[in-house]
A and B are shown apart, each in its own frame.
Chain A
Amino acid sequence: EPEVTQTPSHQVTQMGQEVILRCVPISNHLYFYWYRQILGQKVEFLVSFYNNEISEKSEIFDDQFSVERPDGSNFTLKIRSTKLEDSAMYFCATYQPNYGYTFGSGTRLTVV
Chain B
Amino acid sequence: AQSVTQPDIHITVSEGASLELRCNYSYGATPYLFWYVQSPGQGLQLLLKYFSGDTLVQGIKGFEAEFKRSQSSFNLRKPSVHWSDAAEYFCAVGARSSYGGATNKLIFGTGTLLAVQP
Q: Which of B84-104 contact A (CB under 8 A)?
A: 90, 92, 94, 97-99, 101-104
User: What total of chain B residues lie within 8 Å of the partner, measured CB to CB?
Assistant: 27
Closest to A46 in B: B105
Q: B67 at the A/B interface (Cβ < 8 Å)?
A: no
Does B105 lie within 8 Å of A33, measured CB to CB? Answer: yes
Does A100 lie within 8 Å of B99, measured CB to CB? Answer: no
Interface stretch among A14-22, A66-74, A76-84, A101-109? A101-109
Q: A45 at the A/B interface (Cβ < 8 Å)?
A: yes
CA distance A33 to B103 in the complex (A): 11
Does B43 lie within 8 Å of A56, measured CB to CB? Answer: no
A interface: dominant SS: strand
User: What total of chain A residues lie within 8 Å of the partner, measured CB to CB?
Assistant: 25
CA distance A93 to B46 in the complex (A): 12
Does B49 lie within 8 Å of A100, measured CB to CB? Answer: yes
